[in-house]
Amino acid sequence: MDDQGTTRRTILGGAAAAAGLGLAPGAAAAQTGTAAPAQLRDPRTKYTSQPFPEQRQPWPALQGKMTPRPDSGETSYRGSGRLAGRKALVTGGDSGIGRAAAIAFAREGADVAINYYPTEEPDAREVKALIEQAGRKAVLLPADIRTEKACTKLVTDAVRQLGGLDLLVNNAAYQQSKADISEITDEQMVRTFETNIFAMFRICKAAIPSMPAGSVIINTGSVNSYDPGEELLDYASTKGAILIFTKGLAKQLAKKGIRVNMVAPGPIWTPLQVAGGQLPGTMGEFGQYTPLGRAGQPAELAPLYVALAEDGTSFSTGTAVGAHGGKGNP
């Protein structure tokens, strides 16, 4: 049963009825009113609220080695053909939020290319298998995207291997917590900007000529785009830039019929946190301060990426959608 309480029997029954009436499955459901009642879940207890154990991994970290493993929808996300035939590129698609988006896109009918840092190959292989289990094409594109050359090649390879591109998720990020500006090295600052905003700019620039009207770009921002954490000065600065970049690019691309939106997550349990994203000794506090009393899981963001990607949200561009457990903006 999926999040809307729709069973497999209901889906198949609706499809059969649609075939008989010449309607799409969604139209058949609307005609017959056969959808089962939604199963309500208390958001406070849907996922663990227990403090996460202190743990560290070398950057960029592997999701498969985290305790507990994040939930990216591997067993829970159920698709319904909302992105059938689409061709998507997701950066940072091997783990965390990008992984959740890639899995959801595939289960909604899209072919998916994922980019990731080369040492994240074990996580990427898991995502490839999940995409293929959904019956869709999976393309693995390992690369360090901190140079213009790498970004251009990434887009070129994705377009060639997917046979086109109409959905781009800029999600890859670098995050290192430091208590004071004096602790942020010039190398860290440059790397954070190169990964989080320079790559986004370059990838969009390379991808737009291949994207037809109706295409969608979704950028991963943050609650830090609005309410910067004092220990994330360089990271939060890039996330503020992403918000403005999203709004400005949306105005430009409206003339081409391409939509651009941003998802702004709050505290989400991903490899970023165990690879230096939290100050030493504070892992147990992560997410505990939200009104819901817990951190979010990547699976809880996947429906937002799908909703922004599908044609039904065609009047939404230049917007930001939050997922922060009740604290922050938007």
Catalytic residues: 235
216, 171 Cβ separation under 8 angstroms: no
Bridge partners, 114 (sequence order): 90, 140
Bridge partners, 268 (sequence order): 296
DSSP string, 180-245: SGGG--HHHHHHHHIIIIIHHHHHHHHHGGGPPTT-EEEEE--GGGTS--TT-HHHHHHHHHHHHH
Bridge partners, 113 (sequence order): 89, 139
Q: Which helix (H) or strand (E) holds 111?
A: strand 111-116
Cis amide bond preceding 68, omega within 30 = yes
Q: Alpha-carbon Rg of the chain, whole angstroms? A: 19
